[in-house]
């Protein structure tokens, strides 16, 4: 997965602890067909990172595999 490059190059973040839900959504928007798979992998990573105190919160928690832009609540 290209997350570290994405965070530094596209989002200007130098530390995983600075990652927020908007960064995760932006990464997921880059490949809509892979959204579910990427969300699962990101969730696993952030659970690991929280257990090791690399990050304080999981920015992927609460996100769904369904595209937010396509959901009826967002229209």
- For the stretch 5-61, pLDDT in tens is 887 787 888 888 888 999 999 989 988 999 999 999 999 999 999 999 999 999 999
Question: 3-state SS string over 37-63?
Answer: HHHHHHHHHHHHHHHCCCCCCCCCCCC
| Residue 68, token pair as written in the block | 């937010």
State pTM to two decimals: 0.75
- For the stretch 9-20, pLDDT in tens is 878 888 888 889
Could you tell me if 19 and 59 are in contact, meaning their C-beta atoms sit under 8 angstroms apart? yes
pLDDT at position 5 is 80
């Amino acid at each position: 997965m290209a997350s570290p490059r994405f965070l530094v190059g596209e989002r200007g973040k130098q530390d995983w602890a600075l990652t927020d839900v908007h960064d995760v959504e932006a990464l997921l928007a880059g490949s809509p067909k892979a959204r579910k798979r990427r969300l699962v992998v990101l969730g696993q990573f952030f659970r690991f990172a929280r257990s090791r105190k690399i990050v304080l919160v999981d920015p992927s928690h609460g996100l769904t595999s369904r595209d937010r832009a396509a959901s009826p609540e967002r229209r």
